Structure 1
Amino acid sequence: MMKGIGKRYGSQSLIRLSRRSVLGGLAGLAAAPLTGRALGSLASGASVISTPPRTWDAADTPVNLPDPDVLALDPSFGLVNYGNSPLRKLWQGTGWLEGPAWCTVGRFLLLSDTITSQQYRYDPEDGPQGHVSLYRRESFNANGNTFDAEGRLITCEHGMRRVIRWEHDGSVTVLADRYRGKTLNSPNDVVVVPDGGIWFTDPAYGDGVVEGHADVDGPANPQRHLNPYLDAELTSQYGGLRRQEDHVFRVDGKTGKIEAMLSQHDVAGPNGLCFSPDGTKLYVVSSAPAPGSQPPLPDHAIHVFDMKQGRPTNGRLFTDFTLAGRAMRPDGIRADVEGNLWCGAWGPLGLCGVFVYNPHGQMIGRIRLPVGCSNLTFGGPKRNVLYMCCGTALFSLITATQGAGHS
C-alpha cells in the first residue's frame, strides 16, 4: 500500500513521494554499508545477504532449519514461531501485489495487483508450490480486500475511489464512494469487525494514472498535464476528481452510514489498519509527512488508539518503526490471536521484510526477505500460514499462531 502522497494544509506544503522515488531511495539505503554490530548480526548464517545469495527458487537447496531469515529477538517469539518451517517464495511475475485475503469457503488466497488492475487467486493445494490464476480481469486498480462474516468479498478500488461488496448473486453493492458530497481519495486497506462495521483507510495513493484515477489538478497533477478523462468507464462514473483530506472511515453494517473516525491530523496518510483480537485497540500505519513538521518529515510509524464506545480515542505512538538505527517504512499490518502485530516493512536489504511486535510495542522477531513487504495476512485452513505480498512476489511462512478473526 505504498504509493505517492502529497497535500497542502494552509501554508504548509507536504513533500510528494511516488512509489518509484520511495523505492529508489530505499535502494540507495540498501547500497549504503552497514557497520558494527548491526552488520555482524545481519550477516550471520545463510540469509538474504549471504554469499552466494539465497536464490529463493522452488528447486533451491533446502534451507537449514530453523530458517536463518526468521529471527527471534525475544524468547516470547518462540510461542508464535514454528522453527521447522522455512520461508517459501510461492510466485513471481506480476505488477504490484496488495490486499491478500483468505477465503475460508473457497480455501484460496485472493490478491490484488494495483498496477495491472487485476485480481488473482492463489490455490495452495494445487501442486507443490500452489497455483496462481486470474480471478478478476478488471478490478479498477483494487487494493485492500477482506471477507465478511457471510463470506462476501469487500474490496477497496483505487480507480473507482470506492469500497464495494460482492454479493452472493454476483451483484455489487457500493458501501462507500463519497463523504460530505466529495468523492473519496483511493480506499486502501479494509477490515470488518464483529458488529458488522467496515473500517477502511482513505489516503491518496491512487490519485495518479498508474494505480488509480488521476485528479483533474492538485498535488498529483499540478500542471494539469494528465488527462483524467481518457478512461471512459471511470469518468462516466465520476468525471473529474479532486482529492480531499485523508481519513479513516467506518461504514455501519446495518444502516450503511459512513463516518470519519480519524482525520489526517490524527494519522498522517493512513495506510494499513487492524484491531487487537479483543477489539479494544485500533492500530493504524502512518505513511505521510507528519502534519506541522517543518521541514516536512515522514511520519513512518504505527499509531494505536483505545476503542471507547465504538470510537478510537487516546491516540499515541505504538512504534517509530526503526531498526539498527534506520528509519524503516511500515505498510500492511495484521494481528495474531496473542495480540502480536505482524507488519510489512520497507527499507535496506537485510532489514526489510516483516517486523513482529508484542502488544507493548516491543519487537520480538522479524523476517528477512529479499524485498520489502507491502501487505500480509494469515490464511490456510488453520489460519496459521503467513502470506506476504512483496512487490511482484508472494512469500509464505507456516507459523505456530493464528491470525485474529477480525484483524
Structure 2
Amino acid sequence: MKKLSGIFILLIAASCKVFGQDAPGLYDAGTKPQLVAKQFSFTEGPAVDRYGNIFFTDQPNDKIWKYDTEGKLSIFLDSAGRSNGMYFDKKGNLISCADAKDELWSISPKGKITVLLKDYNGHMFNGPNDVWVRPDGGIYITDPYYQRDYWTRKKPDLDGQKLYYLPKGKHQAIIVDDKFVRPNGIVGTPDGKTLYVADIGDNKTYKYDINKDGSLTNRTLFIAQGSDGMTIDNLGNIYLCGKGVTIVNPQGEKIGHIDIDEPWSANICFGGKNRDILFITASKAVYTLKMNVKGVD
C-alpha cells in the first residue's frame, strides 16, 4: 500500500505540473479567456459597481465604457479626463485617476464630476495612475510619471513618484510612502487592514499594514514582480497584470498564470452578478474568464 500511495502522490504532482495554471482550481481546466471586444486604442481601469457591472477606460479616446451583467457594451462617459485607474466607493461613485490635468475625480452614477484633488501643496501631481478605496472611504493613489502626448509639460512638477492617501472628507492628500521607483498597481483587502502596492519601475510588489489613520506600517516585499493593475479574490490571492496575468497566493507564491493573446494586460477586476467573472483590459481589447472564486469589495 505504501508503494501504491507513493505512486499516487507522484501522479498528482505530475498532473499539477502539467496543468500548472489550473492546479489551484481557481477556474476549470481548459477554460480560456474569452474576447469581448477589440475596438479600442488602449484599455485600462476596470472597476465593478454594486450590481456587478464593469466600467473601464479607453484612455487615448478619452472615454469610460460600461460592460453590463448581460454582456452589453455602452459608453458611460465621453470627455472622461483621460481616466486611467478607477474604483467604486461605497456610495456608488466612480473614483477616477483623471490624468488629463492630473486630478482625482469622483463621478456620480449619473455622470456628474466632482474634482477631489487637483494638486499636492500647489504642485501638479505626476499623473494619478491607480486607486483603491478602503471601507471607510479613505483613498490611496499611486502617482508615477508617464509622459503623455496630450500634456504641454515635459517634466514632473513634483520630486519623486509616491503613494498618497486622501482621508475621507478631506481635500489634501498625505504622502504615505515615497520609496518607489515607479508605483503603479494597488489593491487592498476587504477588511481594510492590508494594502498591496506594485513598484513596476523596480519589478517588486509590497505589502503593508493599514493603520486607522490611513498611515502604513510593516512594509514588506510581497513578491519580486511588479504589476500594472491588480485585484484580489475571496481566498486572498492577488492577480498581477503585465504579460498576461500572474496569480499569487497570500504567502507571495506564484500559483498560476493566465495567458492573454495581447501585447500587454494593463488591469483587471472581478465582475458579473456573482462577482465570478474576471475582466481583463488588454491593449486594444477586453477579455473575460469564468472563475471558481469571487472578487471582493
Q: 1:123 to 1:276 in 2, by over 3 A?
A: closer
Pick from 274, 282, 289: which aligns with 1:397?
289
Pick from 220, 223, 232: which aligns with 1:319?
223
Answer yes or no: is 1:256 the counterpart of 2:171. Answer: yes
d(CA) in 2 for partners of 1:170 and 1:131? 19
SS of 2:73's equivalent in the other structure is strand
- Paired residues in the alignment total 279
Residues 229-257 of structure 1 show CA distances to partners (whole Å, capped at 9, x for unaligned) of xxxxxxxxxxxxx3442221111113334
Residues 21-58 of structure 1 show CA distances to partners (whole Å, capped at 9, x for unaligned) of xxxxxxxxxxxxxxxxxxxx9xx8xxxxxxxxxxxxxx
d(CA) in 2 for partners of 1:119 and 1:277? 25
Answer yes or no: is 1:284 the counterpart of 2:234. Answer: no
Pick from 31, 40, 43: which aligns with 1:97?
43
Answer yes or no: is 1:271 the counterpart of 2:271. Answer: no
1:204 match: 145
1:218 match: 155
Pick from 66, 70, 78: which aligns with 1:121?
66
Residues 142-161 of structure 1 show CA distances to partners (whole Å, capped at 9, x for unaligned) of 10111110111111111121
- Contact 2:97 2:128 survives alignment (8 Å): yes
1:167: Cα distance to partner?
3.4
1:170: Cα distance to partner?
4.7
Structure 1 counterpart of 2:184, which letter? Answer: N
- RMSD over aligned CA atoms reads 2.2
1:308: Cα distance to partner?
3.5
d(CA) in 2 for partners of 1:150 and 1:308? 23
- Structure with higher strand content: 2
Residues 283-333 of structure 1 show CA distances to partners (whole Å, capped at 9, x for unaligned) of 111122xxxxxxxxxx11211122234321222221112xxxxxxx52111
Q: 1:101 to 1:170 in 2, by over 3 A?
A: closer
1:22 match: none
SS of 1:331's equivalent in the other structure is coil
2:206 match: 303
- Contact 2:97 2:105 survives alignment (8 Å): yes
- Contact 1:267 1:284 survives alignment (8 Å): no
1:380: Cα distance to partner?
0.6
1:235 match: none
d(CA) in 1 for partners of 2:219 and 2:287? 33
The percent identity for this pair of structures is 29
d(CA) in 1 for partners of 2:112 and 2:44? 23
SS of 2:40's equivalent in the other structure is coil
Answer yes or no: is 1:71 the counterpart of 2:21. Answer: yes
1:108: Cα distance to partner?
2.5
- Contact 2:239 2:248 survives alignment (8 Å): yes
1:369: Cα distance to partner?
1.4
1:84: Cα distance to partner?
7.2
**What TM-score comes out, normalization by structure 2 length?**
0.86
Answer yes or no: is 1:163 the counterpart of 2:76. Answer: no
1:390: Cα distance to partner?
0.6
Q: 1:384 to 1:218 in 2, by over 3 A?
A: same
d(CA) in 2 for partners of 1:166 and 1:330? 26
d(CA) in 2 for partners of 1:318 and 1:335? 14
Answer yes or no: is 1:383 the counterpart of 2:296. Answer: no
Structure 2 counterpart of 1:282, which letter? Answer: L
d(CA) in 1 for partners of 2:292 and 2:235? 11
d(CA) in 1 for partners of 2:167 and 2:253? 33
Answer yes or no: is 1:366 the counterpart of 2:270. Answer: no
- Contact 2:135 2:190 survives alignment (8 Å): no
Structure 2 counterpart of 1:317, which letter? Answer: L
d(CA) in 2 for partners of 1:333 and 1:170? 25
Structure 2 counterpart of 1:393, which letter? Answer: A
SS of 1:334's equivalent in the other structure is strand
Structure 2 counterpart of 1:354, which letter? Answer: V
Structure 1 counterpart of 2:38, which letter? Answer: Q
d(CA) in 2 for partners of 1:314 and 1:404? 23
1:179: Cα distance to partner?
0.9
In the TM superposition, what are the counterparts of 1:230-249 in structure 2 within 5 Å? 242-249=157-164
2:9 match: none
d(CA) in 2 for partners of 1:391 and 1:192? 25
d(CA) in 1 for partners of 2:67 and 2:268? 14
Structure 2 counterpart of 1:213, which letter? Answer: W
Answer yes or no: is 1:191 the counterpart of 2:132. Answer: yes
Structure 2 counterpart of 1:71, which letter? Answer: Q
SS of 2:116's equivalent in the other structure is strand
Structure 2 counterpart of 1:398, which letter? Answer: K
d(CA) in 2 for partners of 1:201 and 1:178? 14
SS of 1:361's equivalent in the other structure is coil
- Contact 1:104 1:381 survives alignment (8 Å): no
Structure 1 regions of 5+ residues with no counterpart?
Answer: 1-40, 45-67, 220-241, 289-298, 322-328, 347-352
d(CA) in 1 for partners of 2:287 and 2:44? 12
d(CA) in 2 for partners of 1:123 and 1:166? 18
Structure 1 counterpart of 2:181, which letter? Answer: A
1:169: Cα distance to partner?
6.3
